[in-house]
Amino acid sequence: MGEGYVSSFLYSEYTFISVCIFLKIHFDSLYMFNFLYLFFILK
């Protein structure tokens, strides 16, 4: 019981962290894309 609870807690933590990493990479790439877009337009 206790072991299953700990493993499910670790699994949810891992899922949360991977989602955060995915969102960070996604938004960072969006930010870079917007930056390049503005750079080429202003250039």
pLDDT score, position 14: 87
Sign of CA dihedral 14, 18, 24, 28: positive
Output the pTM of the full model: 0.49
User: Can you list the alpha helix ranges (DSSP code H) found in the chain?
Assistant: 2-42
- Domain count along the chain: 1
pLDDT score, position 12: 85
pLDDT score, position 2: 64
pLDDT score, position 1: 54
**DSSP summary character for residue 43:** -
Q: What is the pLDDT of residues 1-43, one digit of tens each?
A: 567 777 887 788 889 999 989 988 888 888 888 888 888 888 7
pLDDT score, position 25: 86
Give the residue numbers spanning the domain of 35: 1-43
